[in-house]
Amino acid sequence: MPQSLLRLIEKCAEYKPQVDVKKLPRGLRGIYVLYRRIGNSRIQYGVIYVGMAKAGRRGGIRSRLISHAKRKGRQWTHFSVFKVWDNIRDDEIAELEGLFRHIYRYDPQANSLNIQRGFRKLRKLRRNNLRTWVEKKPRLKKA
């Protein structure tokens, strides 16, 4: 049996123009990113929003992007999609989204659409005193 390249992500498409949203299949689960293209000469994209779509009635990534296009379409120009494998649970998708949003929480451009400014579970886990990260190894007695 061939081995997968990535444990979490099955497929991805990056920096697709907003008009390509309807080309996505329905029901995709995973993470998506909205970008605004910066400048004309060099290709640069600013992250505007990181979101997720999980199983359920919402219809997946495609319907989430269509909804964003209707409500906030002028704020973003491109998107990327990261489809997760079927064996990835919805809470794992939520953890990925929370991590990415936490990373961008102080970026003023990314916060233009993000309501969530951080990831509460990650804040509870945070240990900023790096000296406490050192694991004490048992000392071996000399013979």
What pLDDT, in 10s, does the model give residues 61-110?
A: 999 999 999 988 889 999 999 999 999 999 999 889 888 888 877 777 66
Model pTM score? 0.78
What confidence score (pLDDT) does residue 68 get?
92
| pLDDT tens digits, 123-143 | 666 666 666 776 766 777 776
Domain ranges, ordered by start, for the chain: 9-130
114-137 per-residue burial string, b: 16 or more CB within 10 A, e: under 16: beeebbeeeeeeeeeeeeeeeeee
